[in-house]
Copies of this chain bind each other. A is one copy, B any other.
Amino acid sequence: MDSIFSFEDIMELPSRYRANLINMVSGIKPANLIGTTSKNGQTNLAVFNSVVHIGANPPYLGFILRPTTVERHTYENLKETGVYTINQITTAIHKKAHQTSAKYDREVSEFDAVGLTEHYQQGFHAPFVAESPIKIGLSFQEEQLIKCNDTRLIIGKMEHLILPEAAILEDGDIALDQLDIAAVAGLYNYYKLEHLGNYGYSKP
């Protein structure tokens, strides 16, 4: 038995229920931590589930920034310093990673608050997460203000990519399940991954 919601039905749902439902229907999402430093040297770490591939040549990643309090620290810092990091969340650190979504004051570093470790790559100003097996350092490239709801698409260029040599397969693929990479669904639910198969390039 299917439930069928029209646009009007969705708009009449209770606010929290609607947020959960609508955040779920797009499917599973990547689980990432974005690390930044303010111009005063205060580090910040925030969980994001909206990182999206923009291009490989040159290498660009995007993420959606909502107009909210927690994420504004990330935005202010990356605009001020021009750099940020995207770090993959594993099953081992997913609870600590989720805890970074709490509304800490700006003078609190979420690294300290949740118990994760800053890692620095020579000459790069933003903090990586030492416990994350896939660490990406980016420079701010472009932003698009989305008119319909004032969210922003933030795009960065990969300046550094750090990952275990043993996890890179012959063709450039990465064994995400062997790295225990986690995934998010909706706002609060985390998943682990089991590989189904690699089907290669499709032909008619």
Distance, CA A154 to CA B91, complexed state (A):
32
Alpha-carbon separation in the docked complex, A166 to B3 (Å): 9
How many residues in A have their beta carbons less than 8 Å from beta carbons of B? 112
Task: Tell me which residues across on chain B come within 8 A of A55, comparing CB atoms.
Answer: 22, 66, 148-149, 151
- Give chain A's interface secondary structure class: mixed
**A110, closest chain B residue (CB):** B204
Once the chains bind, are A193 and B54 in contact (CB under 8 Å)?
no
A154 to B: closest C-beta gap in Å: 11
Contact B18 A57 (CB under 8 A): yes
The reply to whether A159 and B59 form a contact with Cβ atoms under 8 Å apart is no
| 9 A/B residue pairs, CB under 8 Å, sorted by A | A2-B165, A10-B59, A22-B59, A27-B181, A55-B149, A142-B146, A188-B200, A189-B196, A193-B194
